[in-house]
Amino acid sequence: MALKPRWFHILLALSENPAHGSGIVRHVLEQSQGSMRLWPAMLYGSLEKLAQVGLIKELPESPGGESGKRRYYEITEKGRAELKREAEHLANLAAMVRARIG
């Protein structure tokens, strides 16, 4: 499965720790150096789809025991494997470009 760029960034954002929606948005904005902004509809649609295909899961409660309405997500083992596969694919593409253009 080829990952959409926003899915790649969401999985990368969740690769260290579970996070809630606004935390994911901040991570993606930082790791993309401001080039990718996830608007709410795009974010929550992506989270729903990633959960449906088993790459992430919603946690039943916040990891820190906080109360509130924030929904937390974490990457699954399948998600980690897919993130790694996509990173290797991107590295191979980058190597091919460097080889061709010097």
pTM: predicted TM-score of the whole model, two decimal places: 0.90
10-20-55-15 Cα dihedral, nearest 10 degrees: 60
Q: What is the pLDDT of residue 65?
A: 65
79, 14 contact by CB (below 8 A) = yes
With a cut of 80, say whether residue 28 has pLDDT above it.
yes
Please write the tens of the pLDDT for every residue from 41-90. 999 999 999 999 999 999 987 776 666 688 999 999 999 999 999 999 99
16, 73 contact by CB (below 8 A) = no
Which CATH architecture best describes the domain 5-101? Orthogonal Bundle (1.10)
Please write the tens of the pLDDT for every residue from 15-26. 999 999 999 999
- Three-state SS letters, 39-102: CHHHHHHHHHHHHHCCCEEECCCCCCCCCCCCCEEEECHHHHHHHHHHHHHHHHHHHHHHHHHC
